[in-house]
Homo-oligomer: A and B are copies of this chain.
Amino acid sequence: MSYTAWIISIGNELLIGKTVNTNAAWLARKLTLLGYNVRRIITVPDAEEDVVEVFRDAVRRGVRVAISTGGLGPTFDDRTSEYLAKALGRKYVLNDEALRMVVETFKSRGLELTEPRLKQAKMPEGAKPLPNPVGTAPGIWVEEGNTIIIALPGVPAEMMSIFENYVEPKLREIGPRLHFVERSITVKGVPEADLAPIIERGMKMSGRVYIKSHPKGHEIRSPLVEIHVYASAEDARGAEDEVNRVINYLITAIRERGGEVLSG
């Protein structure tokens, strides 16, 4: 069973550089900690052609989980739910359960049930609404073939609240039951290019540990490099031991090379 995940970010504001995509980083972190292998983050505009295409791609390629953010609000271009129905070849219908959620939210606050609000209860046929503890638009959970598609609002507080309350527990249940383990060290005084052979030898010490260097300072004048070591494994303890073994090797080799290890 493959546990690949895609994150689909919908919104012109991301493509014109008005907004930094913090939602995607947050979801990527969550999915990684749940043991999923996030293979793509794809940002598309609020346009039918693009949104339909990316959902279809995720299903066609058998991605296990595709999570989208954005396009569930009340305005004219919030049409993720409609495009998702189209991508799946399903009807776009008023969902009874979603309607109850939406009606309840508005009635309890004495707000009118206008057309833009009612729209938030329309979903692809067969979808399951996810309650929104913070806002009004329910999230959407729908399965097609091997793929679970989850559509969440773009407002970070709403996205996070639906995810933590109604998505995370389910994804943990059906998930790969892997543990993500990581450690970082920061190295001063050795250019990244001179760390490269050390890192390569560290990689060869373990089949499941990945090492990535992140230059922080000025490459030549005052090199400062973070080295991030991580692994996903069924047994957390074994993975931890392996990460530590690699980290210890790196620290020793870097000190021998004259580098200073600042943290770790």
Please report whether the interface of chain A is mostly helix, strand, loop or mixed according to DSSP: mixed
The reply to whether B45 and A42 form a contact with Cβ atoms under 8 Å apart is no
Give chain B nearest CB distance to A186 CB in angstroms.
14
Contact with B along A157-173 (1 / 0, CB 8 A): 01000000000000000
Q: Which residues of B contact A197 (CB under 8 A)?
A: 116
The reply to whether A134 and B212 form a contact with Cβ atoms under 8 Å apart is no
A230 to B213, CA, bound (A): 39
The reply to whether A203 and B76 form a contact with Cβ atoms under 8 Å apart is yes
Interface with B: A18-26, A84-92, A123-131, A252-260, which one? A18-26
A118-143 residues with Cβ-Cβ distance < 8 A to B are 134-136
A18 to B212, CA, bound (A): 11
Tell me whether A244 is interfacial, beta carbon within 8 Å: no
Tell me whether A147 is interfacial, beta carbon within 8 Å: no
The reply to whether B18 and A21 form a contact with Cβ atoms under 8 Å apart is no
Q: Which residues of B contact A43 (CB under 8 A)?
A: 24, 40-42
Q: Which residue of chain B has its CB nearest to the CB of A15?
A: B38
The reply to whether A117 and B193 form a contact with Cβ atoms under 8 Å apart is yes
Interface with B: A28-36, A93-101, A235-243, which one? A28-36
Give chain B nearest CB distance to A210 CB in angstroms.
7
The reply to whether A218 and B134 form a contact with Cβ atoms under 8 Å apart is yes
Q: Which residues of B contact A76 (CB under 8 A)?
A: 196, 199-200, 203
Give chain B nearest CB distance to A150 CB in angstroms.
17
Q: Which residue of chain B has its CB nearest to the CB of A193?
A: B74
- If A40-B42, A192-B75 touch, whether A111 touches B220 (CB-CB below 8 Å) is yes
The reply to whether B28 and A215 form a contact with Cβ atoms under 8 Å apart is no
Tell me whether A205 is interfacial, beta carbon within 8 Å: no
Chain A interface (Cβ within 8 Å of chain B)?
9, 11-22, 24-32, 38-46, 50, 73-77, 105, 109, 111, 114, 116-117, 134-136, 155, 158, 180, 191-197, 199-200, 203, 210, 212-215, 218-220, 228, 230
Sample 11 A-B pairs with CB under 8 A, ordered by A number: A13-B212, A14-B28, A16-B29, A17-B28, A19-B25, A21-B25, A39-B44, A39-B50, A111-B191, A134-B218, A155-B219
